[in-house]
Structure 1
Amino acid sequence: MHLPRLSPPHSVWWILLLGALALAAGLGLRDPSPPDEPRFVLAAQAMVESGQWAIPHRGVEPYAHKPAPFMWLQALAYTVVGNWRVAFLLPSLLAALGTLWLTIDLATRLWDRRTGLLAGWALLACLQFGLQAKRGQIDMVLVFWTTLSLWALSRHLLRGPDWRALALGGLAAGIGTVTKGVGFLPLLILLPWCLARRRGMQLPMDGYRDRRWWWLPAGFLIGVGVWLVPMLWTVARSTDPALHAYAAEILLKQTGTRYANAWHHVKPAWYYLQVIATLWLPGALLLPWLVPQWWRRIRAGDARVLLLVGWAVLVLLFFTASPGKREVYLFPALPALCVAAASLLPALLERAWVRRVLLGYVVVLASAALVLAAGGLSGTGWLDGVASERALDAATVRSLLLWTGMLGLGGLALAAWGRTARAGVVAVAFNLLLWTVYGLGLAPALDASSSARELMQQVRTRIGPEATLGLVGWREQHLLQATGPVTEFGFSRDERLQWRDGVAWLAQDPSRRWLFALKEAAESCVDPAQLIELGRSSRRDWVLVPGDAYVTGCVPPLPEDLHVSAAAAPD
């Protein structure tokens, strides 16, 4: 791979700078969008407004599906920048840059400076890294903590002893665990380390029985306690049954039960092969060459490769064993594999076929983007179905297609410039171009529709600034984007129960109250002729119910199967 010809002290900073420019492109140009971003921002907003940070809330209900630390970061970012459009993405951006630096530094410490630079370029080239860095979700922050833990543990196990690094590894794993439950995964690196010892591989560390090994679990417990202690203290001091139910939900159902007996995102055992083959592009294309080389190095006694690749395999097996699977679950293994691959890249990139494959990857994606744009702009109407499903107007579709065409043209121009001789550089540059185009053009074009901002503005314009809006069957983006007086009747409760409470609320002051409701929930006690169709949002149909539509004296029947509130629905 041809790296930029820069003086040694500045090369790492150029990687970080280029990464920052691409990953930060468009920061502040869009609002939170489903599936996860709006709910996290709602919780962070509640923390800022209420001053209660131990237990996150989604509307009036405690939010028990994820711990609070990620929302803390968003709330802290808001207190610094004062703008939610920037604040909700800032933790992911900073975590991505931190992960990128850790990847470079770990490869440098285990091999040399050139290998460190290659590890950074490799990570920056992978699709999933950029994708998560551009999202206001937990996973990029989780990967920062897992990578920090792996960085510290590898320093101790492969270059040690370094007892402070060992303690840091435990601390980072603990904080990662209360960021998202699988943050303990870096500790699994002890298993391939034990195997390396049994095989007699050369390990530079003595003192295997040193008492300071206790620093690892001590650091882990301190990290977990960062959130667990204040949360349990808050619950213990409260008599609110909702908070006690919250503690049981997040400590039991959302951890062990969610892993062993998943009730959603159920996928087949081979699901992660599909994830690797798509989201880990273009790195996944090099696996046919990398895997045999890794195996040879392990057989030759290279403990560095055994620990890094062995740990990544354990992560793959861990998540494959659970019936519930999502593409982001495997993401923590990506930086480690980039480190393990980096020392092999110089030799691989000397091979003509490797360079052809990388260049072909860019040409195929760029050509597909260009064909998509040309086909859409030709006026054939073949995108009408997609536009209707996502409630996109003609101007938005045209903007999306123009930006897609720019991506395609840019990719083909890079391929023509670099050809096979600079295929590695072209692959990295194309990924940087992709996320720049996404941030500046694609995401902002989709924002008004996907964030529900436009819909909720239309609702407020229709009902007037003084009317109170009640939400029934709502999604998080609707509450987040709602302006003026707003009330809701719970999020995880069955929609029929929300409708029952909403109708009773509407009846109390029909002249100044309206309901924003899921169309299928608005079935009783209102005049259907007075319902105002709002169209589709979040791929569902919604209606606006004026107070005058209420049928006087009517009480929605309580369904026989719903004598109590329904259990919380999974995210």
Structure 2
Amino acid sequence: MTHASKKNWPTWAVALAVLAWLLCTAWWRPLAVPDEGRYAGVAWEMIRSGDWLTPTLNGLPFFHKPPLFYWLTALSLKTFGLTLWAARLASVFGAWLGAMGLYLLVRRWGGARVAGWSVLVLVTQPFWFGGAQYANLDMLVAGCISAAIVLAAHAVLAREAGQAYRFALWGAYALAGLGLLAKGLIGLVLPGAVIVAWLLLTGRWRAILGLLSLPGLIVLALVAAPWFVAMQRLYPDFFHYFFIYQHFQRFTQTGFNNMHAWWYYLPLMVGLTLPWVPAWLLTVWGPGPGPRQVPSGEAPEAQAVASRSALRWLAWVWMVVILVFFSIPASKLPGYILPALPPLAYLVADTLMQRWPSASAWAPKAWGVAASLMCLVLIGAAVRYDEQSSRPVLPVLQPLLKQGVPLVYVNEFVYDLPFYLAQPGPIPVISNWDDPDLPKHDNDRKELFDAGEFNPTLAPKVLIPKSQWQTWLCQHPRLAVMAPHDVTKSYPELAWQPPVMKLKLWSMWVLDRDDLLAKGLRCP
């Protein structure tokens, strides 16, 4: 072994370091609402109900997304308890999977040094670091998509080199199946689109046929099909709702939330990958691919140049396909383009290695230090300035619940509160559920409305129509209410008593029936 190769970290050490870094502040922030509260809450309901097959939101079947995130999070919560870092462990795993997939691919076909820098650039991008500690489905599916692309690309390159490739190919099919279970069809469509485009643009079109594998398709079906088939058997409208409405209609129509212009992701990607943006710009306006110094112990120069050219083509195609795909629909969210960050990280790292081939160069190290500090500062800022959590009501609310005082939401579901309370059952939500315009809007109330359609027996007990509001006030001597601040316009009885606590998004009332009767409440 040469002196240069001794400096390379073993793969297990890289894997542990990446995991430790991605976990280091996962305990710090309260759950963000609505996303983190929603998805951690669905996982908690699996534990609470013992039903790990059907995801439920407030006790009602919730089919906006498939179950992989909920399964992993429920397993984490059951193992480590209802802690914040355990609620985020599935996202950490997705980020770790994507980072290690990139590292292993680049190490095998580009060299250990550029692989190490690739993973460093990736995990110190605030976008990737923050996404790893955000409990929703985007990072998990990004990890599955990235790993599927990595395995398929490795299979292509290994097959060209006359090496064993079938296990990597079957692994790509398995990861595509997990991607289906993580967020739906994009887990299969995007890896396939990236690999096919890469092969066509690099003149490897014959390799497309080599990637078609009957054993791989069997693996894909064994991984993904059982849950979808089970849901369709239990809920006959499942396929239409999940595939037609949630996938195609939401992708093509314009009546949904988060409407943005086609170029939305370009400035977003630049801003959320600081301070690596200057290095990224070097990949765009710098010199084209050329020979780079190959440390002793790595592949010969000719092989290194060919492999590096294949990786650069893959990285550009990978990044562009993801950006174009998610720029087509009018509805856009930042987390959608997380799968575009691993190829960007490789392009940045490869450029750095060209510009500063010496291992002692200070510029890449300075960028790395600045990026790491920025990640930590941004998480700290989120802790300091994000005041949307409902957790501050716990000291007031928990004693009331122990005394048997019922809790009810009015107009909105407080997504993070069931997780903090370890709530033993659904929480009634009083709202105008018979509003004919409600199904036309893409919002949180419609999520619950759609869920209620799949369980018409339970729905009337959980989704309480506004017409029963006064009945609830009359039936309960005391009632704890969580609602938005402006709800008093539609529910004037809440204005008769001041809230006991006022948060950024919600107020909490403790209503006393006798006091309300004295102020004009009429009960039969």
Task: Indicate the TM-score class for this superposition, using the shorter chain for normalisation.
Answer: 0.7 to 0.9
Superposition deviation, residue 247 in structure 1: 5.0
How does 1:478-489 map onto structure 2 within 5 Å?
Answer: 478-482=417-421, 487-489=427-429
Within 2, Cα distance between the matches of 1:554 and 1:141?
Answer: 51
Superposition deviation, residue 424 in structure 1: 1.6
Superposition deviation, residue 293 in structure 1: 5.5
- The one-letter code of the counterpart of 1:425 is K
- The one-letter code of the counterpart of 1:189 is V
Within 2, Cα distance between the matches of 1:435 and 1:320?
Answer: 26
Aligned with residue 187 of structure 2, among 173, 178, 183: 183
Q: What residue is the counterpart of 1:506 in the other structure?
A: 473
Q: 1:248 to 1:308 in 2, by over 3 A?
A: same
Aligned with residue 288 of structure 1, among 277, 281, 297: 281
Aligned length: 466
Within 2, Cα distance between the matches of 1:67 and 1:218?
Answer: 20
Q: What residue is the counterpart of 2:369 in the other structure?
A: 429
Within 2, Cα distance between the matches of 1:506 and 1:433?
Answer: 52
Within 2, Cα distance between the matches of 1:505 and 1:117?
Answer: 61
Paired residue secondary structure (2:213): helix
Q: 1:472 to 1:152 in 2, by over 3 A?
A: same
- The one-letter code of the counterpart of 2:322 is V
Superposition deviation, residue 476 in structure 1: 0.7
- The one-letter code of the counterpart of 2:142 is V
Superposition deviation, residue 428 in structure 1: 1.7
Q: What residue is the counterpart of 1:370 in the other structure?
A: none
Give the percent of matched residue pairs that are identical in Structure 1 and Structure 2. 21
Aligned with residue 512 of structure 2, among 546, 549, 555: 546
Q: What residue is the counterpart of 1:452 in the other structure?
A: 390
Within 2, Cα distance between the matches of 1:253 and 1:208?
Answer: 31
Q: What residue is the counterpart of 2:459 in the other structure?
A: none
TM-score, normalized by length of structure 1?
A: 0.72
Within 2, Cα distance between the matches of 1:83 and 1:484?
Answer: 12
Aligned with residue 259 of structure 1, among 246, 251, 265: 251
CA contact (8 A) 1:457 1:482 kept: no
The one-character-per-residue Cα deviations of 1:158-187 (angstroms, maximum 9, x if unpaired) are: 222612222211221121122113222111
Superposition deviation, residue 268 in structure 1: 0.6
How does 1:289-304 map onto structure 2 within 5 Å?
Answer: 289-292=282-285, 302-304=309-311
Gaps of 5+ in 1: 237-243, 352-417, 556-571
Q: What residue is the counterpart of 2:234 in the other structure?
A: 234
Within 1, Cα distance between the matches of 2:5 and 2:465?
Answer: 62
Q: What residue is the counterpart of 2:439 in the other structure?
A: none
Root mean square deviation, CA, Å = 3.5
2:335 is aligned with 1:328: yes
2:172 is aligned with 1:172: no
Within 1, Cα distance between the matches of 2:211 and 2:328?
Answer: 34
Aligned with residue 250 of structure 1, among 224, 242, 246: 242
Superposition deviation, residue 522 in structure 1: 3.8
Q: What residue is the counterpart of 1:81 in the other structure?
A: 80
Within 2, Cα distance between the matches of 1:525 and 1:463?
Answer: 23
Within 2, Cα distance between the matches of 1:528 and 1:208?
Answer: 64
Within 2, Cα distance between the matches of 1:479 and 1:88?
Answer: 13
CA contact (8 A) 1:460 1:483 kept: no
Gaps of 5+ in 2: 292-304, 431-444, 450-461
Paired residue secondary structure (2:149): helix
The one-character-per-residue Cα deviations of 1:379-429 (angstroms, maximum 9, x if unpaired) are: xxxxxxxxxxxxxxxxxxxxxxxxxxxxxxxxxxxxxxx9xx523212222
Paired residue secondary structure (1:220): helix
Within 2, Cα distance between the matches of 1:167 and 1:22?
Answer: 30
CA contact (8 A) 1:100 1:120 kept: yes
The one-character-per-residue Cα deviations of 1:300-346 (angstroms, maximum 9, x if unpaired) are: 98333223211221111111111111111111011123234433321
Q: 1:211 to 1:337 in 2, by over 3 A?
A: closer
- The one-letter code of the counterpart of 1:469 is L
Superposition deviation, residue 120 in structure 1: 1.3
Superposition deviation, residue 544 in structure 1: 4.2
Greater relative CO, 1 or 2 (CA 8 Å, sep 6+): 2
How does 1:382-393 map onto structure 2 within 5 Å?
Answer: none
Within 2, Cα distance between the matches of 1:156 and 1:50?
Answer: 42
Does 450-459 or 72-81 show the bigger shift? 450-459
Q: What residue is the counterpart of 1:101 in the other structure?
A: 100
Within 2, Cα distance between the matches of 1:288 and 1:457?
Answer: 51
Q: What residue is the counterpart of 2:271 in the other structure?
A: 278
- The one-letter code of the counterpart of 2:198 is W
Superposition deviation, residue 78 in structure 1: 1.5
CA contact (8 A) 2:270 2:277 kept: yes
- The one-letter code of the counterpart of 1:180 is K
Superposition deviation, residue 463 in structure 1: 7.8
The one-character-per-residue Cα deviations of 1:514-556 (angstroms, maximum 9, x if unpaired) are: 433334334467645632225643535554433332654469x
- The one-letter code of the counterpart of 1:65 is H
Q: What residue is the counterpart of 2:299 in the other structure?
A: none
Within 2, Cα distance between the matches of 1:327 and 1:484?
Answer: 31
The one-character-per-residue Cα deviations of 1:269-318 (angstroms, maximum 9, x if unpaired) are: 111111121012233322332125586579x9833322321122111111
Within 2, Cα distance between the matches of 1:343 and 1:540?
Answer: 49
Within 1, Cα distance between the matches of 2:177 and 2:422?
Answer: 39
- The one-letter code of the counterpart of 1:25 is C
CA contact (8 A) 1:175 1:226 kept: no
Q: What residue is the counterpart of 2:21 in the other structure?
A: 22
Within 2, Cα distance between the matches of 1:547 and 1:60?
Answer: 28
Within 2, Cα distance between the matches of 1:109 and 1:211?
Answer: 20
CA contact (8 A) 2:125 2:375 kept: no
